[in-house]
């Protein structure tokens, strides 16, 4: 079959499966995907799955150590206004709800062909669980249809994993009439990824979902300060779980209303996915602090587990005179990252050097420096209907592993890896976001 007939077949099936996303011009079209799955080393893939519960356990322990946790977050808050406001909200609220659900995704790139290096851990609003599942299904279906017997695509349960964990949290709230509230962005382009979760929550568990932005929260939900319950204004039903697909970036808080909404949600007895402690423990500064000597070992008393975690850390550095001098000598070996989420914020090469030249010391704690990873390249065809392109080019991939952690304070109730995402981008692209950048959805073919 020629590339163009494979492309047509792939596109029609992507649409048939709901592998769809809005463009920046507001057209709902196939999400960007790779025409073929990309080869990925099986051992590194298994290792990433095995690490997921350990990372959840590590973060749970870190949150419980309020002295360490507060010391790190205070450093960021002193330099970054957004983190300062989140932290203020965390400190002001006193909810009795100890149950928390984290639906996380840890992202990795490969160094030296097959060594896993953690890029970051997303503890709020990890996207693409459903579209990643659909991409695996698409590649699997095309492989079988095109009679490609050589494929070894691991099962991807990200969608079902997220749905079942949200349903588990909902069950703990113990009100069969209660709803789940999705906090979404006002101009979300990835709605289909969210609606696929909503559909399965309803079809498999009979759970109904309400949606609103933080800004619009007060029009949709009311807070009963006597009971700390959240209720839907439309039918007075209680909100069992608040699932955040927004609230991680300053743009999600356009006015004081949005901050007020975040505070009310945190204060309420709804189960948060996640609460503010889990959002804050996912900061890049925290990642850098956990990589300092003996810290992981302190929090993970089991030496094998600590060692496995440490083995996937890239170089991570707080800004100081010494490291900045090193960056000036070897800029190609570093990435400068601000305390922001959502892609498109990191600085590389000359832009990084220029930023460091003018950065006041008071801002140092709002950034980290990270060793730059150069992943092994391969060939693929990146299909982007938005630009009407299907380019056969040199690409690199970034693996994400989804995991759920349902906990009652420091007691873990459920902790497991549930699925994966492979994002693939041209070798020349610096950033790997799908909504923001040049990356496409892919799936790993294990070798
Ligand atoms: P964000 O929270 O904005 O998603 P990330 O840390 O995931 O921030 O960085 C965004 C993208 O930048 C990643 O998906 C990856 O493509 C690239 N990137 C991040 N860190 C590194 C690194 N150390 N080496 C090479 N590329 C990186
Ligand atoms: Mg990222």
Index of the ligand 1 atom closest to the CA of residue 284: 6
Q: What contacts 24+ positions apart, CB below 8 Å, involve 114-119?
A: 114/41, 114/43, 114/44, 115/44, 116/44, 116/47, 116/48, 116/51, 116/311, 116/312, 116/399, 117/312, 117/313, 117/314, 117/371, 117/373, 118/287, 118/312, 118/313, 118/314, 119/314, 119/373, 119/398
More confident: 1 or 440: 440
pLDDT score, position 372: 98
pLDDT score, position 287: 98
Q: How far is the CA of 431 from the centre of ligand 2 (A)?
A: 9
Q: Is 216 found in the same domain as 343?
A: no
pLDDT score, position 439: 95
Q: How confident is the model at residue 35 (pLDDT cuts 50, 70, 90)?
A: very high
Q: Which of 80, 104, 109 to mutate to test the pocket of ligand 1 (most atoms within 8 A of CB)?
A: 109
Q: How far is the CA of 345 from the centre of ligand 2 (A)?
A: 10
Q: Is 319 found in the same domain as 273?
A: no
Ligand 1 contact, 88 CB (< 6 A): no
Mean pLDDT score of the chain, rounded to an integer? 96
pTM exceeding the 0.85 threshold for the entire prediction? yes
- For residue 305, the enclosing domain spans 3-314+373-446
Q: Is 332 found in the same domain as 263?
A: no
Q: Is the pLDDT of residue 431 over 90?
A: no
Q: Is 323 found in the same domain as 234?
A: no
Number of independent structural domains in the chain = 2
Both tokens of 49, joined, read 């799955």
Ligand 1 contact, 347 CB (< 6 A): no
pLDDT digits (tens, 9 = 90+) for 259-275: 999 999 999 999 999 99
CB 132 within 8 A of CB 107: no
Section 218-246 average pLDDT:
98
Q: Is the pLDDT of residue 258 over 70?
A: yes
Index of the ligand 1 atom closest to the CA of residue 337: 6
CATH number of the domain that residue 334 is part of: 3.30.1490.50
Give the lowest-confidence range in 165-169, 343-347, 357-361. Answer: 343-347
Q: Is 102 found in the same domain as 22?
A: yes
Q: Is the pLDDT of residue 354 over 80?
A: yes
Instruction: Tell which of 328, 355, 372 closes a domain.
Output: 372
Q: Is 235 found in the same domain as 348?
A: no
Q: How far is the CA of 119 from the centre of ligand 1 (A)?
A: 6
pLDDT score, position 1: 64
pLDDT score, position 232: 98
pLDDT score, position 4: 83
Q: Which of 119, 317, 345, 376 to mutate to test the pocket of ligand 1 (most atoms within 8 A of CB)?
A: 119
Q: Is 367 found in the same domain as 414?
A: no
pLDDT score, position 23: 93
Task: For residue 432, give the ligand nearest its CA.
Answer: 1
Index of the ligand 1 atom closest to the CA of residue 120: 6
Q: Is the pLDDT of residue 149 over 90?
A: no
pLDDT score, position 388: 87
Q: Is 378 found in the same domain as 366?
A: no
Q: How confident is the model at residue 301 (pLDDT cuts 50, 70, 90)?
A: confident
Q: Is 328 found in the same domain as 437?
A: no
CB 420 within 8 A of CB 444: yes
Percent of the chain with pLDDT over 90: 92
Q: Is the pLDDT of residue 75 over 80?
A: yes
Which amino acid residue places its CA nearest to atom 14 of ligand 1?
A: 432
Q: Is 329 found in the same domain as 213?
A: no
Q: Which of 83, 117, 120 to mutate to test the pocket of ligand 1 (most atoms within 8 A of CB)?
A: 120
Task: For residue 349, give the ligand nearest its CA.
Answer: 1
Q: Is 141 found in the same domain as 192?
A: yes
Index of the ligand 1 atom closest to the CA of residue 314: 23
Rounded Cα–Cα distance for residues 447 and 445 (Å): 6
Ligand 1 contact, 372 CB (< 6 A): yes
Per DSSP bridges, beta strands 378-384 and 33-34 are: antiparallel
pLDDT score, position 85: 98
Q: Is the pLDDT of residue 219 over 70?
A: yes
Q: Is 138 found in the same domain as 102?
A: yes
Which amino acid residue places its CA nearest to atom 13 of ligand 1?
A: 432
Q: How confident is the model at residue 147 (pLDDT cuts 50, 70, 90)?
A: confident
CB 404 within 8 A of CB 415: yes
Ligand 1 contact, 265 CB (< 6 A): no
pLDDT digits (tens, 9 = 90+) for 88-135: 999 999 999 999 999 999 999 999 999 999 999 999 999 999 999 999
């Amino acid at each position: 079959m020629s590339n163009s007939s494979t492309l047509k077949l792939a596109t029609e099936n992507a649409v048939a499966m709901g592998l769809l996303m809005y463009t920046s011009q507001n057209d709902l079209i196939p999400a960007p995907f790779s025409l073929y799955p990309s080869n990925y080393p099986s051992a590194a893939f298994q290792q990433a799955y095995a690490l997921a519960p350990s990372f959840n356990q590590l973060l749970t322990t870190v949150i419980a150590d309020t002295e360490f946790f507060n010391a790190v977050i205070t450093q960021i808050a002193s330099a970054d206004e957004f983190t300062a406001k989140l932290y203020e909200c965390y400190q002001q609220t006193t909810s009795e709800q100890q149950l928390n659900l984290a639906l996380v995704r840890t992202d990795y790139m490969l160094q030296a062909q097959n060594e896993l290096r953690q890029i970051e851990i997303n503890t709020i609003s990890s996207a693409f669980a459903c579209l990643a599942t659909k991409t695996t299904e698409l590649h699997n279906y095309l492989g079988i249809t095109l009679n490609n017997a050589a494929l070894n695509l691991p099962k991807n349960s990200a969608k079902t994993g997220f749905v079942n964990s949200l349903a588990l949290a909902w069950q703990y709230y113990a009100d069969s009439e209660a709803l789940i509230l999705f906090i979404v962005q006002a101009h979300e382009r990835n709605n289909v990824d969210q609606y696929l979760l909503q559909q399965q929550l309803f079809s498999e568990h009979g759970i109904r979902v309400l949606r609103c932005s933080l800004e619009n929260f007060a029009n949709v939900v009311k807070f009963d300060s006597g009971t700390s319950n959240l209720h839907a204004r439309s039918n007075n039903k209680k909100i069992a779980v608040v699932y955040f697909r927004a609230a991680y970036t300053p743009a999600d808080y356009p006015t004081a209303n949005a901050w007020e909404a975040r505070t009310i949600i945190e204060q309420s007895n709804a189960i948060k996915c996640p609460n503010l402690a889990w959002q804050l423990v996912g900061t890049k500064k925290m990642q850098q602090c956990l990589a300092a000597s003996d810290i992981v070992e302190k929090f993970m008393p089991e030496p094998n587990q600590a060692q496995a975690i440490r083995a996937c850390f890239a170089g991570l550095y707080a800004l100081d005179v010494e490291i900045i001098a090193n960056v000036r000598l070897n800029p190609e070996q570093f990435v400068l990252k601000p305390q922001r989420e959502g892609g498109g914020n990191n600085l590389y090469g000359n832009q990084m050097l220029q930023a460091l030249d003018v950065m006041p010391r008071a801002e140092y704690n709002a950034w980290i420096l990270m060793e730059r990873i150069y992943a092994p390249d391969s060939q693929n065809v990146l299909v982007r209907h938005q630009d009407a392109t299907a380019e056969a080019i040199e690409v690199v991939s970034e693996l994400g592993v989804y995991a759920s952690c349902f906990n009652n304070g420091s007691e873990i109730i459920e902790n497991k890896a549930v699925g994966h995402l492979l994002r693939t981008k041209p070798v020349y692209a610096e950033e790997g976001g799908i909504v923001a950048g040049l990356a496409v959805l892919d799936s790993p073919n294990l070798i």
